[in-house]
C-alpha cells in the first residue's frame, strides 16, 4: 500500500484529504497539534492511519514526528501541507507576535514540511494547499494573505530547483475558495460578528477533490471553484477596481449574522476542543460541487483567444 503524510490532517480540509486518501486505499500519516482529535482518528481508522502530535511551526518537533511516521509507514509517495492559522482582525490591531505566529504556521509550516518531504521522498507528489487569497488579498486577514502569497513564491523556486536536479518530485499548488472548515469557529476574531467563509461557500470535500486532482495529474497549479478564477483574473486585469471592491465589501463578506461570543475559543497558540471532522458550522450554506481546473490550462484559455476572454470577463462581472 502507498503511504501518504498530511500535515494539519485532524480537522478541516486536511481531514477531508485524509478521508479521500483512505478511500483510495492509502495508509496515511497525520500530523496535527490536537491530541484528542488524533486519538479519535486512531480509534476510528485503526492501523490505516498513524498519528503524531506536533506543531508544524516547530521544525525540530515536526522532524521528530515525521521520522516516527516514516519508521512506521515507510517513505511516502504523497505529501500534503495543509496546516494553517489566521486572525480576523484589522492589521492595526495585530501585534508582531500574532502576525509572526500566523506566518510561522501558515507559511513556515509548509516550508518545514516541504523540506522534510524532499529529504524523505525519492519520488511522488508534494501538495501545497493555497488559496485564492494568494492572488487577491482581503482586508482583516493581512498575515494569512501574506503567508499564502509567500507559499506561491516559495513553491515556484523549489519546483525549479527540483527540475534542475532532475528529481522525480512534483510540487503542486492547490488554490482554494472559501470553505466551510472549523477555522471560522476557532480563529482569533476581533470583529463584532462571528466570522464566516465569504460566499460562495464550498464543502471541504470539494477542496479535497482539488488536492486529489493535483495528486493524480501532477499539475503545477489547480484552481478550485469559480470564485478563485474570478479573484485571480479580476486581480490581473483590474487590480485597482479590486482594491476598491475589497474596501467596500471585503470585510462585510467575512461577517455572519451571528454576534461574536466572548471569549471565543482561539487555536492560534494552542489547540481547542473540537471534533475530528472536516466541516465547520456553515454546512447548510455550503455547496458540494465546484469547478476544479488546471490553472495553466485556464490561463491559456483566457489569454489564447478574444472570445474566451470576453466570456471570462462576463463571468467576472456576473
Does the pLDDT at position 309 exceed 80?
Answer: no
Does the pLDDT at position 306 exceed 60?
Answer: no
| Phi, psi at 226, each rounded to 5° | -60, -30
Q: What's the confidence (pLDDT) of residue 265?
A: 80
Return the half-sphere exposure (C-beta side, CA atoms, 13 A cut-off) of residue 93.
11
Q: What's the confidence (pLDDT) of residue 180?
A: 98
Q: How confident is the model at residue 53 (pLDDT cuts 50, 70, 90)?
A: very high
pLDDT tens digit sequence for 250-275: 999 999 999 998 777 899 999 999 99
Q: How confident is the model at residue 318 (pLDDT cuts 50, 70, 90)?
A: low
Q: Is 135 exposed, middle or buried (0-12, 13-18, 19+ CB in 10 A)?
A: buried
Q: What's the confidence (pLDDT) of residue 298?
A: 87
User: Which cell is 234 given?
Assistant: 479580476
Q: What's the confidence (pLDDT) of residue 270?
A: 94
Query: What CA dihedral angle connects 179, 183, 185 and 186, to 10 degrees?
Result: 180
What residues have CB less than 8 Å from 65, skipping those under 6 apart?
31, 52, 53, 54
Average pLDDT, the chain: 94
pLDDT tens digit sequence for 184-231: 999 999 999 999 999 999 999 999 999 999 999 999 999 999 999 999
**CA 107 to CA 35: how far, in whole Å?**
22
**CA 81 to CA 129: how far, in whole Å?**
6
**CA 210 to CA 119: how far, in whole Å?**
25
User: What does the DSSP assignment read for 68-122?
Assistant: HHHHHH-S-SEEEE-----EES-GGG--HHHHHHHHIIIIIHHHHHHHHHHHH-S
Does the pLDDT at position 90 exceed 90?
Answer: yes
pTM of the model: 0.94
**Contact present, 222 and 209 (Cβ < 8 Å):** no
In the β-sheet with 123-131, what is the strand arrangement from edge to edge?
49-53, 27-32, 3-7, 78-81, 123-131, 168-176, 221-224, 292-294
Can you tell me the mean pLDDT for 121-131?
97
Quote helix, strand, coil % in the chain, to nearest 5.
Answer: 50, 20, 30
**CA 217 to CA 312: how far, in whole Å?**
25
**Contact present, 37 and 276 (Cβ < 8 Å):** yes
Q: Is 195 helix (H, G, I), strand (E, B) or coil?
A: strand
pLDDT tens digit sequence for 131-162: 999 999 999 999 999 999 999 999 999 999 99
Can you tell me the mean pLDDT for 158-169?
97
Does the pLDDT at position 182 exceed 70?
Answer: yes
Q: What's the confidence (pLDDT) of residue 1?
A: 74
**CA 161 to CA 315: how far, in whole Å?**
36
Amino acid at each position: 500500500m502507498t503511504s501518504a503524510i498530511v500535515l494539519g490532517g485532524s480537522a478541516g480540509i486536511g481531514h477531508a484529504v485524509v478521508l479521500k486518501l483512505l478511500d483510495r486505499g492509502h495508509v496515511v500519516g497525520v500530523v496535527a497539534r490536537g491530541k484528542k482529535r488524533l486519538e479519535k482518528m486512531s480509534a476510528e481508522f485503526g492501523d490505516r492511519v498513524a498519528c503524531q502530535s506536533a506543531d508544524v511551526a516547530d521544525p525540530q518537533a515536526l522532524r521528530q514526528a515525521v521520522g516516527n511516521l516514516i519508521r512506521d509507514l515507510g517513505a511516502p509517495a504523497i505529501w500534503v501541507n495543509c496546516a494553517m492559522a489566521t486572525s480576523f482582525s484589522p492589521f492595526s490591531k495585530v501585534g508582531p507576535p500574532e502576525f509572526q505566529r500566523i506566518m510561522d504556521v501558515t507559511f513556515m509550516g509548509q516550508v518545514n514540511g516541504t523540506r522534510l518531504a524532499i529529504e524523505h521522498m525519492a519520488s511522488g507528489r508534494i501538495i501545497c494547499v493555497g488559496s485564492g487569497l494568494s492572488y487577491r488579498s482581503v482586508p482583516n486577514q493581512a498575515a494569512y494573505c501574506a503567508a499564502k502569497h509567500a507559499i506561491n513564491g516559495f513553491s515556484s523556486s523549489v519546483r525549479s530547483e527540483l527540475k534542475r536536479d532532475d528529481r522525480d518530485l512534483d510540487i503542486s499548488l492547490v488554490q482554494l475558495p472559501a470553505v466551510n472548515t472549523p477555522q471560522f469557529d476557532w480563529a482569533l476574531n476581533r470583529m463584532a460578528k462571528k466570522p464566516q467563509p465569504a460566499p460562495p461557500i464550498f464543502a471541504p470535500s470539494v477542496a479535497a477533490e482539488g488536492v486529489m486532482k493535483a495528486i493524480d495529474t501532477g499539475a503545477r497549479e489547480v484552481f478550485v471553484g469559480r470564485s478563485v478564477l474570478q479573484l485571480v483574473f479580476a486581480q490581473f486585469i483590474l487590480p485597482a477596481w479590486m482594491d476598491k471592491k475589497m474596501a467596500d465589501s471585503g470585510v462585510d463578506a467575512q461577517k455572519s449574522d451571528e454576534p461574536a461570543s466572548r471569549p471565543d475559543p482561539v487555536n492560534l497558540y494552542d489547540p481547542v476542543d473540537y471534533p475530528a471532522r472536516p466541516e465547520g458550522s456553515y454546512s447548510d450554506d455550503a455547496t458540494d460541487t465546484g469547478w476544479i481546473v488546471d490553472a495553466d490550462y485556464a490561463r491559456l484559455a483566457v489569454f489564447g483567444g478574444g472570445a474566451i476572454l470576453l466570456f471570462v470577463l462576463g463571468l467576472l462581472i456576473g
